[in-house]
Amino acid sequence: MSLSAADKRWLVQDFGPQVRFEEPMSRHTYMRVGGPAEALVTPLDRKGLEHLVRGCAVRGLPWMVVGGGSNLLVRDGGICGVVIKLNRCLRGIRKTGSGEECRLTAQAGVKLQSLCRFSARNGMKGMNFAVGIPGTVGGAIIMNAGTRLGCMADVIESIGCLLPDGQMTRLDRKELFFDYRLMRWPEGLSVGETESPIVMDGRFRLMPGNPKDLADEAEAIRKTRSESQPLDRPNAGCFFKNPVKGRTAGELIDQAGLKGRGIGGALVSNRHANFIVNRGKASAGDILALMALIQRSVFDLFQIDLEPEVKIVGHETD
């Protein structure tokens, strides 16, 4: 526990119904597992968010941001401190280029799928790689979300961010380091694993395209995805990163004969081996145990270490 009675009073006073104490994170993640957040705050607007971050800094409270919860696994012991949800604030999306320029700005809480649709409708080409990827723009930037067709790093021009001390700044693409499913802040900006700057918005640079062609392409991509991925059951997308070369994580897990293997409520999908699905009442412990089993089996057979792509946070149960 890290919130004192005085901290809780402050949260209630300044954020009222936007705060929930001991809120199960299973309600806020696609996996539908995870223990409680000590306090979960959903600020209504940007001002509220800034006030919250500054207040946490002054009081020395740990905090972390969750986006859509689509790539997040929270352990069963839950999360100490303040969890900040951005889905109510930061929902704007607009064209920002002049004339023919294909530029747009999307705030962090916008769903990535809304950004895809908005760009296609406005005849801007380049976002379709992200069709079907769940989650929010902020999360997608931090994870450098992508598929074989492209990734966020290909289209991002700059990001607006709120620093842990409450100051705003804008960082150019050149100042950021992107790699496979990874973005790194410039040195000195990040305080810790969780109290990093908050992505407030992304500015994107796209190319001219035909809205009808873009919509058709998006539909085809969506169809392919739904044929090869178990989108009908709670999951966090691909669970492991693909190794840098050679076989994909899905192929390795499949060849290890693990499709359909389950522990408790967690199951290796029969449709795509790199998906762990919650087939009912899984706990985070079930998923982590299955993750360890997969890693062990793949290592024993192929001497390859699979690294989770899913972000794992929170603490174990006592």
Tokens 């009081």, located at residue: 59
Query: To the nearest 10°, the Cα dihedral for 78, 80, 84, 85?
Result: 10
Query: Whose CB is nearest to ligand EPU?
Result: 237
* Subset of residues 1 to 20 that bind ligand EPU, contact rule: CB under 6 A: none
Counting contacts by CB under 6 A, is residue 254 touching ligand EPU? yes
How far apart are the C-alpha atoms of 162 and 167, rounded to whole Å?
Answer: 6
User: Which residue, among 112, 119, 66, has the nearest Cα to 91 in the 3D structure?
Assistant: 112
CA 262 to chain centre: 25
Contact 286, 265 (CB under 8 A): yes
* Subset of residues 290 to 309 that bind ligand EPU, contact rule: CB under 6 A: 309
Q: Which of 181, 203, 205, 261 is catalytic?
A: 181
Q: How many CB atoms lie within 10 A of CB 8?
A: 14
Secondary structure class of 271 (helix, strand, coil): coil
Counting contacts by CB under 6 A, is residue 272 touching ligand EPU? yes
Residue number, 57 or 258, with CB nearest to ligand EPU: 258
Counting contacts by CB under 6 A, is residue 237 touching ligand EPU? yes
Which stretch, 16-24, 94-102, 161-169, 267-275, contacts ligand EPU (CB under 6 A)? 267-275
Check if 309 is active-site: yes
Residue number, 84 or 238, with CB nearest to ligand EPU: 238
Check if 296 is active-site: no
Counting contacts by CB under 6 A, is residue 250 touching ligand EPU? yes
* Subset of residues 23 to 52 that bind ligand EPU, contact rule: CB under 6 A: none
Tell me the site size for ligand EPU, rule CB under 6 A: 17
For residues 233-261, one letter each, b for 16 or more C-beta atoms within 10 angstroms of the residue's C-beta and e for the rest, the string is ebbbbbbbbbbeeeebbbebbbebebbeb
Counting contacts by CB under 6 A, is residue 274 touching ligand EPU? yes
How far apart are the C-alpha atoms of 37 and 240, rounded to whole Å?
Answer: 25
For the bound state, the minimum distance from the C-beta of residue 147 to ligand EPU, rounded and expressed in Å, comes to 3
Check if 222 is active-site: no
Which stretch, 5-13, 17-25, 99-107, 236-244, contacts ligand EPU (CB under 6 A)? 236-244
How far apart are the C-alpha atoms of 291 and 277, rounded to whole Å?
Answer: 11
- Name the residues that contact ligand EPU, by CB under 6 A: 147-148, 225, 228, 237-238, 241-242, 248-251, 254, 272-274, 309
Residues serving a catalytic function are: 181, 238, 309
